[in-house]
């Protein structure tokens, strides 16, 4: 797992690809993700959203989740349906007020969004 200091170095380098599509063989993060059963309670940082570090130009403000990149959170739910149907997503509760940023958040858990596991960097709890 990467530490916060390691993440800051990666996230702060705009010329270095931070997050790449699942199909891209040149991913900058090569470590394996933990087993799904171990993910609930895991500390994470959003390194991209839907495989990209920038939002499409036609993105509505309420759906501009890219502004959460670099934000820490905790995995609060792993759903088998979301894993299979939605390309491996987990429910992440962010440590920031998602609604205060003007973002839509329709989940029962406040400040929580279903996020692709490939968009997350898993971090050590001691560095969190």
Fold assignment, 4-8+38-127: SH3 type barrels. (2.30.30)
CA dist 3 → 71, 74, 96 (Å): 14, 15, 20
Name beta bridge partners: 89.
Answer: 116
State what percent of residues in the chain have pLDDT above 70: 61
pTM, full prediction: 0.69
| pLDDT tier at 22, thresholds 50, 70, 90 | very low
Residue 6 has pLDDT above 80, yes or no: no
Digit-coded pLDDT (tens) for 31-81: 444 444 447 899 999 999 999 999 999 999 999 999 999 999 999 988 766
Angstrom distance (rounded) from CA 13 to CA 122: 19
Which pLDDT does position 89 carry in this prediction?
87
- Residues 92, 112: contact at Cβ < 8 Å? yes
Digit-coded pLDDT (tens) for 77-93: 887 665 555 568 899 99
Angstrom distance (rounded) from CA 49 to CA 65: 7
């Amino acid at each position: 797992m990467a530490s916060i200091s390691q993440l800051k170095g990666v996230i702060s380098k705009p010329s270095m690809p931070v997050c790449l599509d699942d199909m891209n063989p040149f991913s900058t993060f090569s470590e394996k993700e933990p087993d799904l059963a171990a993910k609930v309670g895991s500390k994470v940082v959003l390194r991209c959203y839907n495989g990209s570090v920038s939002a499409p130009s036609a993105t509505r403000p309420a759906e501009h989740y890219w502004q959460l990149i670099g934000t820490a959170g905790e995995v609060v739910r792993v759903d088998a349906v979301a894993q299979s149907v939605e390309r491996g997503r987990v429910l992440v509760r962010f440590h920031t007020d998602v609604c205060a940023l003007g973002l839509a958040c329709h989940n029962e858990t406040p400040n929580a969004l279903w996020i692709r596991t490939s968009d997350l960097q898993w971090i050590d709890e001691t560095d969190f």
